[in-house]
Chain A
């Protein structure tokens, strides 16, 4: 059974950093690209960042470019999102999502349950 478990969310002050993690199991992690997608509760979905199976291709939404860094450790079956210079508008539920392909294709067949990030003073 595929499982994606996010962690690392919480309340953080504006301008401070936060690191999210996603532990994957139930599939061959290094066969697939992985992504972070966020959602303000009750609102729509926004793609944040994606990374190919070998970290050779990485993409970011304009809203986070230069502030967020995605990475993965295939030996640990883990995906990460290092967030810096956080803003109030980054407040959202952050989902880890598995791509259906090795490269950045953008179809997500499995999602975690999300970790809530709240940016507030």
Chain B
């Protein structure tokens, strides 16, 4: 069965970076895109970008283009999302989600990133 397992909770100071991982199993890793979506406390879902897990090509939401990098390591079926220069309002749960032809059919469990001085 398809599973996406994300890395654990992170606490960071403003200005630091964080990298969240998403390990996939149960399907051919490189056959799909992976998207990253975040959810600030009490707020809605926000699309951050996507990565082609085969080629490594990326598309980022304009808001995140300067500070977010998505990568992948097909040898261990893992996708990564790094946010640099963290701000307090980057505090959110970050989700990876598998793309099945333009919809998200499987989601990771979420990773809470707290940014606080």
Q: Do A and B bind each other?
A: no
